[in-house]
Amino acid sequence: MVRKELLTPGLKVGLLGGSFNPAHEGHLHITRMCLAALELDRVWWLVSPGNPLKPGKGMAPYEDRFASAERMARDPRIAVSGIEKELGTRYTADTLKALTARFADVNFVWLMGADNMLQFPKWRNWRGILETVPVAIYPRPGYTLKARLSPIASMLRDRTLDTTDAALLPLVAPPALAFLSGPESSRSATEIRAAGGWV
């Protein structure tokens, strides 16, 4: 459930979807980067019940991943949300369609890493995602330049804001894209699990 005070009309809200298997400092780092660059009021961490593009093996139970996100969300502007589980959605396109219908007065932005942008065409109804909300791409080590040169970036060249204008993105009608700049975090959940533990 999303708390009522997080739904004030006109709010600018970033949506960061993920498995959070587990949540880690990298999630916090990119969230704070997005809050600053896009001048967002809130970021919702959407803990996925199950990512269709990730294998189930090695995936911790949903309750553990949600609790991990709650522990890591050390910023009052971050709301950990189980709304995908509540809605029964597994695909981002379906989640965004439901959220924008339910909270029509909120200005949502989808937050996506440069690494995910390269596999974005594999996402179900990716064109529908682009037509539903603006998208901000945050830098990821080894992927940032590739994302800027990707087919999606070329397709949206005329709908891409300059990095210095990224704060306008939440108020721009989709499709709209902005690449963010800032320090890249190499922290990953895969690395944490490989090291034998959770935070």
Beta bridge partners of 16: 45
Residue 53 has pLDDT above 80, yes or no: no
- Residues 50, 59 contacting (CB under 8 angstroms): yes
Query: 14: buried, middle or exposed (CB in 10 Å: 19+, 13-18, 0-12)?
Result: buried
pLDDT attached to residue 189: 55
Helix 62-72 crosses helix 25-37 at what angle (to 10 degrees)?
60
pLDDT band at 57 (very low <50, low <70, confident <90, very high): confident
Residue 16 phi/psi, 5-degree rounding, is: -115, 105
pLDDT value of position 196: 57
pLDDT at 190: 58
Query: Which residue did the predictor score with more confidence, 111 or 9?
Result: 111
Question: Which residues are paired to 12 by β-bridges?
Answer: 107
- pLDDT tens digits, one per residue of 148-184: 999 999 999 999 999 999 999 999 999 999 999 988 7
CA distances for 149 relative to 41, 80, 131, 146, 152, angstroms:
30, 32, 21, 5, 8
Q: Is the distance from CB of 184 to CB of 140 less than 8 angstroms?
A: yes
Compute the average pLDDT of residues 23-28: 94
Instruction: Say if CB 81 and CB 13 are below 8 A apart.
Output: no
Fill in the DSSP letter of residue 183.
Answer: P
The burial class, CB within 10 Å (0-12 / 13-18 / 19+), for 4 is exposed
**Interacting residues of 199 by C-beta distance below 8 A, sequence separation 6+:** 22, 23, 24, 25, 68, 71, 72, 192
197 pLDDT tier (thresholds 50, 70, 90): low
| Residue ranges of domains in the chain, CATH in brackets | 10-194 (3.40.50.620)
For the chain, percent of residues with pLDDT exceeding 90: 80
Query: What is the mean predicted confidence (pLDDT) over 113-127?
Result: 96
Q: What is the mean pLDDT of residues 58-77?
A: 94
